Chains A and B, each alone.
Chain A
C-alpha cells in the first residue's frame, strides 16, 4: 500500500531519483556532530509545547482580578498575561508540564547552540566553504537568546518585569536614536500597555519564523555541502564516510530526538522552573532582590554589574553608563563572532577548502584563543550572581564585585597559556584521551621480559573496515521504458508506450511472461533473502 502511494507521487513528481539520493546520504557519525541535533530537537520541543501554551496564554496588559485556586493571589489585581500564566500552571491539565518543558527546553536549546558553536569553532568547521553557515548559525544564536528573553518576559511577573524595565533603559541608552527606539518599541514611555502583546507576537511568530527560515538554510547548506569529518581510516577531502540516512541515521537521530525530549521531561518532572506565582505580578515600583536574567543573558547582567560608574557627558548630550556593557559589548561580541571565519582566514593566510576537521590540539593558538574568550564570557556570566555568591559564600558583596572586576582580565590571561600548553602536550602523546590497552608483561624461561597488548575491552574491539561506497552511478533508463528483472538476475529495460510506463508495468508483483518484477519499496526481492 505504501508502494502504491509512493508510486502515485513518483509518477507525478519524479521523486525516485532524489529519494534515492536522500536515503543514500552519508552522515559522519561522530558524537560531537550530534550537538547541533540537540539544538534542533529541543527547538522542536519548543515549537510543540509552545503551540500548547499559545492556546491558553493571553498576551494582554489589561488589569484583571484573579479568582483562581492560588490563595495568595486571590482578589489581587494583575495583568491578564500574568493571570493566564498562573491559570496555566494551576488550572489547565498538563499546563504546568508544558510550561516547564517549554522553559527547560529553551535553556537546553541555547545551551546546546553554544556547545555546538564551540565544537564548530574548535574543530575549524567554519572554514571555507562553510563561512555562510557559520554566519547563519551565529545569527540563530542571537535570535535564540533574544527569543528566550522575550519568552520568559511574557508572564509579566515581578522578576522578568524588572528585566523588561532594564531593557527599556538599555535601548534608551543608545546614542542619537535611543529614546526614539525605546518609545517606538514600547509604544510610549515605560511601562505602557503595548509591550506584552508586542513581545508575544515577536516571540511566537516573527522570531520563530526567522529562525525556521535560517534553520532550513542552515540544514540545506549542510546537505548540499555535506558534513565535515575527522581524519581517519578511509576519510579524505573528497569523500564522506559514515552511516546512511536510511535506516541507520533515521533510527539513531529519531531515537536521539526522543531521548532529548525525555531529558527535557525529566527536568520538568524533578526541578521546578520559573515559579511565577511565587513572584507575583509586575508592578513598576516593586522589586525583588536576587534577580538575575536567565543564564544566556547572564553575561550581559554581569557586565552591567561590574562596569565602573562611567558616563560620557558633554555638549548637552550624554552617552549613559548602560550603553557600554549592554550595547557596545554585545555589538562587538556578535560582530567579531559573525566575522570570525574571515578574520581567521586572514590571520592564517589559509583560503583553501577544508572538509577534514582539525583536532583542537592540532591548532593550539585557535583553541587557546577560543578558550580564553569563552573564559571571559564565563566570568561575566558568573558576575551576574554577585549578590547570590556573596550571600552563600559569606563574603562581603564589595569584595565579590571588586574581585570580578579583576578576574575578568586575569582569568582569560591564565586560560590562554594553560590551554595552549595542554594542546601542545596532547599533541606529543599519541592516542591521548583514548582508552589504553594494558600491556601484559611476560617473562620468558631464560629471564627475558616481553610485552604483549592485552585483549581490547568489549566495547573497544570495533573492527574498523574500509568504507563501502553507496553512491553508484546508474544508467537511468528513459521514463518510457518499464523495468524488469531479467531471468539471469540483472535488471533490464523495455521500451513501452510513449505515454510512459503503464501503471501495470511498474506495479510490483504483476507478472508478465515469466519475468519477475522488481520488488517494491518495502518488498524485498525474493532472491535477496
Chain B
C-alpha cells in the first residue's frame, strides 16, 4: 500500500472510531444506562408486606446458610467485619435489604466499586439473610429498618422535585443520569431502581452517599422525593424528542455539530460544484465545443476589462 494510502486509511479509521465512539457513548450510553441498571424486572416489589414475618426459625437457618456461603468471606463469619468489608451487626435491616436488592452485593470482584446488577438472591432469600444478620446483634439506634410499605400515592412531586434539586442533583445530576465522583467512584443513575431502594438509600446513605436521617429530610419529604424519582426521573416528560441520555449540552453539541452541520454540509456538497479533475487527457479543445462548433466564447476575449 502506498504511503498516501496508509495515511488516508489511518485518518479514515481514526475519524470513524472517534465519531462512532462519541455517538455510541452519548446517544446509546443513555439507552445503555437503562440496561446497565440491572433490569427492573428482576426486582419485585421490595417492600416488606405482612406476609413476611420476621421470626420463623427456619428462615433464620436458611439465612445463616446463605450468609455463610456468600458474605462471610469478607464480612466475617459473625458479620463482625474485617479489613475488606464493614461490620453488619448494627446497620439495620434497611441497609442490608438495599445492598442485596440492588445487586451491589455480592461484589462481582472483591476490589471493584459495587455496581448495580441483577440481584443474586430472590426476595425470600434476601429477607432470610436480613433476618439472620439482624438477629446477631441489636440494630444501633437511628439505623433504619426496612420500611413496611413505601406508599407514594400522596407524594407531592413538586416538593419532591425541589428537594431532589437541593439534595440529590449535585451527585446524581438533575435528570438522575448519574456521574463520576473523584477517585474512580461514581453516583449511579436512578433509572431501574424501586421506590423501596430509593427510600432505603436516602435513609441509610450507602457507600459515599451521605445519610439523610429524619432530622434532615422528614418522612413525608422522603416520600415526596421517592415519588418524584419514580415518576419524573424514571419517566421524564420528553415532548421534544429523543432525550440524548439526559446529560444536556454535551450530547446536544455533538448532535448539533455532527448531525446538524454535517447534514447541511452534505446538502452543500450536493447543491454546489466540485473542483474539476486536473486535465490529464489533453483534450482541451474538444471539450469546449459542441457538435455545431458553437464553442464557449474563448476566454481570451476580455477586451473590455
User: Could you say which residues of chain A place their CB within 8 Å of the CB of B249?
Assistant: 159, 274, 292-295, 298
Give the interface segment out of B49-57, B203-211, B237-245: B237-245
Do the beta carbons of A159 and B248 come within 8 Å of each other?
A: yes
Do the beta carbons of A467 and B299 come within 8 Å of each other?
A: yes
A430 contacts chain B at the CB level, 8 A cutoff = yes
Do the beta carbons of A289 and B179 come within 8 Å of each other?
A: yes
Instruction: Please report which residues of chain A, range 260-289, place their CB below 8 angstroms from some CB of chain B when the two chains form the complex.
Output: 260, 263-264, 266-275, 277-280, 283, 285-289
Which A-chain residue is minimally distant from B258 (CB atoms)?
A111
A315 contacts chain B at the CB level, 8 A cutoff = no
Which B-chain residue is minimally distant from A66 (CB atoms)?
B158
User: Could you say which residues of chain B place their CB within 8 Å of the CB of A385?
Assistant: 250
Do the beta carbons of A32 and B272 come within 8 Å of each other?
A: yes
User: Could you say which residues of chain A place their CB within 8 Å of the CB of B260?
Assistant: 104, 107-108, 111, 263-264, 267
Knowing A158-B165, A273-B240 touch, does A38 contact B276 (C-beta < 8 A)? no
A468 contacts chain B at the CB level, 8 A cutoff = yes
User: Could you say which residues of chain B place their CB within 8 Å of the CB of A259?
Assistant: 264, 267, 271
User: Could you say which residues of chain A place their CB within 8 Å of the CB of B270?
Assistant: 31
Do the beta carbons of A38 and B4 come within 8 Å of each other?
A: no
Do the beta carbons of A425 and B3 come within 8 Å of each other?
A: yes
A75 contacts chain B at the CB level, 8 A cutoff = yes
A232 contacts chain B at the CB level, 8 A cutoff = yes
Give the interface segment out of A135-143, A190-198, A390-398: A390-398
What 0/1 readout, one digit per residue, does chain B (249-279) give for beta carbons within 8 Å of chain A? 1101111110111011101111111111111
Knowing A270-B241, A290-B177 touch, does A34 contact B272 (C-beta < 8 A)? yes
A interface bracket (residues with beta carbon within 8 Å of B): 35 or more
User: Could you say which residues of chain B place their CB within 8 Å of the CB of A277?
Assistant: 237
A114–B162 alpha-carbon span in the complex (Å): 39
A353 contacts chain B at the CB level, 8 A cutoff = no
Do the beta carbons of A396 and B183 come within 8 Å of each other?
A: yes
B302 contacts chain A at the CB level, 8 A cutoff = yes
User: Could you say which residues of chain A place their CB within 8 Å of the CB of B228?
Assistant: 72
User: Could you say which residues of chain A place their CB within 8 Å of the CB of B246?
Assistant: 278
A328 contacts chain B at the CB level, 8 A cutoff = no
Do the beta carbons of A289 and B187 come within 8 Å of each other?
A: yes
Give the interface segment out of A207-215, A233-241, A482-490: A233-241
A239–B275 alpha-carbon span in the complex (Å): 17
Do the beta carbons of B256 and A29 come within 8 Å of each other?
A: no
Cβ-defined partner of B174 (8 Å) among A238, A279, A462: A279
What is the distance, in angstroms, from A261's C-beta to the closest C-beta of chain B?
10
Knowing A292-B249, A388-B250 touch, does A34 contact B181 (C-beta < 8 A)? no
Do the beta carbons of B158 and A288 come within 8 Å of each other?
A: no
User: Could you say which residues of chain A place their CB within 8 Å of the CB of B182?
Assistant: 396-398
Knowing A30-B273, A72-B232, A290-B247 touch, does A108 contact B237 (C-beta < 8 A)? no
Do the beta carbons of B7 and A466 come within 8 Å of each other?
A: no
Cβ-defined partner of B288 (8 Å) among A264, A388, A465: A465
Which A-chain residue is minimally distant from B176 (CB atoms)?
A278
Knowing A96-B239, A434-B277 touch, does A256 contact B268 (C-beta < 8 A)? yes
User: Could you say which residues of chain A place their CB within 8 Å of the CB of B140?
Assistant: none
Instruction: Please report which residues of chain A, range 82-126, place their CB below 8 angstroms from some CB of chain B when the two chains form the complex.
Output: 89-90, 96, 100, 104, 107-108, 111-112, 115
Do the beta carbons of A104 and B272 come within 8 Å of each other?
A: no
Which B-chain residue is minimally distant from A459 (CB atoms)?
B274
A-side interface residues toward B, CB under 8 Å? Answer: 29-35, 37-38, 70-76, 89-90, 96, 100, 104, 107-108, 111-112, 115, 158-159, 230, 232-234, 238-239, 252, 255-256, 259-260, 263-264, 266-275, 277-280, 283, 285-296, 298, 384-385, 387-393, 395-398, 400, 418, 421-422, 425-426, 428-432, 434, 453, 460, 462-469, 471-473
The 9 closest A-B pairs by CB, nearest first: A295-B253, A31-B272, A107-B256, A272-B240, A288-B174, A390-B180, A466-B296, A396-B184, A29-B273
